[in-house]
Amino acid sequence: MQARGGRLDSAPMPTEPLRKQPKQSRSRALVASILEAAGDLLGKGAEDPADVSLQKIAERAGVGIGSLYDYFANSEGVWSGFLSWTTERNFSALEAQAEGATFTERLPNLVDASLALYLDAPGRTRGIIMAIVRFGWVPRVVQERDRFAHLLAAKLGAEHPHVPRERLDRLSEVLCDAVIGIVLGELWRERSDAARAEVRQVLRDLVAREVAAAIARPPA
């Protein structure tokens, strides 16, 4: 099984504590396959995430239940790991596919690709939202949003050291909130492909304009 956006053994591991840390490529691939399988089950959208057993996750991943228990104590631990794992994995995959000579030039495409990542797999995205509500993980979502925004701000800051970091932090948070807001709005709407393409074009234009303005303004 291949992770979306890269090899399973090279995908980042979840930041949440595991029973033990996978150090070899084979064990890292095993953990990644478990988390990918959890995401696939979320994509079915037919079951409450709390009712998806570890046995179902293990079967979907093609691993023994004992191997799963080596790293996760329960299904909630798998879902928690899935949330943190997807942040950095998705960021790395999105950055790799966005075109442009610099990160600043790639950012509009990266944000657009981030939007598409969730809207192109609506079943999985709805499943993630179900898990967030079922387990009361809104604070965790805010934490992961802040971590993604921090990655954006750090990349921009490396290319534009003259720009105050606070300004880049605020900009990155606004961009993340825009993506989240559009995703939540679009998931339960019936729009044509043309209408959704227009929404994504508006977002790309907004990102390019706001980034250019943040970089052009002299430090206060």
Count of helices and strands (H, E) across the chain: 9, 0
Within a domain: residue 86? no
- What range defines the domain where residue 66 resides? 1-81
Within a domain: residue 87? no
Same domain, 151 and 210: yes
φ and ψ of 6, to 5 deg: 170, 175
Q: To the nearest whole percent, how much of the chain has pLDDT over 70?
A: 86
Same domain, 23 and 105: no
Same domain, 219 and 112: yes
Beta-ladder partners of 11 = none
Q: Residues 150, 86: contact at Cβ < 8 Å?
A: no
Q: How far apart are CA 48 and CA 129, in angstroms?
A: 11
CA distances to 36, 55, 60, 61, 108 from 70, rounded to whole Å, are 17, 13, 17, 14, 41
Global confidence as pTM:
0.72
Which distant-in-sequence residues (6+ apart) come within 8 Å of 65 by Cβ? Answer: 54, 55, 58
Residue ending a domain, choose from 81, 115, 146: 81
Q: Give residue-wise pLDDT tens across range 43-69.
A: 665 556 667 788 888 999 999 999 999
Q: Give residue-wise pLDDT tens across range 103-153.
A: 998 888 888 888 888 888 787 788 778 777 877 878 878 888 898 899 899
Same domain, 166 and 208: yes
Total structural domains within the chain: 2
Q: Give residue-wise pLDDT tens across range 62-116.
A: 999 999 999 888 877 887 788 777 776 777 777 777 777 899 988 888 888 888 8
Per-residue model confidence (pLDDT) at position 154: 94
What pLDDT band is residue 16 in, cutting at 50, 70 and 90?
low
Same domain, 70 and 103: no
Same domain, 62 and 168: no
Question: Given a cut of 70, is residue 8 above it in pLDDT?
Answer: no
Per-residue model confidence (pLDDT) at position 47: 59
What pLDDT band is residue 35 in, cutting at 50, 70 and 90?
confident
Same domain, 102 and 60: no
Q: Residues 196, 119: contact at Cβ < 8 Å?
A: yes
Same domain, 75 and 122: no
Q: DSSP states of 8-44 as a string?
A: GGGSPPPSSPPSS---SHHHHHHHHHHHHHHHHHHHH
Residue ending a domain, choose from 28, 56, 81: 81
Per-residue model confidence (pLDDT) at position 135: 75
Which distant-in-sequence residues (6+ apart) come within 8 Å of 69 by Cβ? Answer: 19, 54
Same domain, 103 and 145: yes
What pLDDT band is residue 17 in, cutting at 50, 70 and 90?
low
Q: Residues 135, 49: contact at Cβ < 8 Å?
A: yes
Per-residue model confidence (pLDDT) at position 15: 54
Q: To the nearest whole percent, how much of the chain has pLDDT over 90?
A: 25
Per-residue model confidence (pLDDT) at position 132: 79
Which distant-in-sequence residues (6+ apart) come within 8 Å of 19 by Cβ? Answer: 69, 70, 71, 72, 73
Exposure string for 188-218, b = 16+ CB within 10 A, e = fewer:
eeeeeeeebeebbeebbeebbebbeebbeee
CA nearest neighbour of 105 among 178, 156, 167: 156
What pLDDT band is residue 175 in, cutting at 50, 70 and 90?
very high
Same domain, 37 and 65: yes
Within a domain: residue 173? yes
Same domain, 119 and 189: yes
Mean pLDDT computed over every residue of the chain: 81
Within a domain: residue 167? yes
CA nearest neighbour of 5 among 62, 109, 87, 128: 87
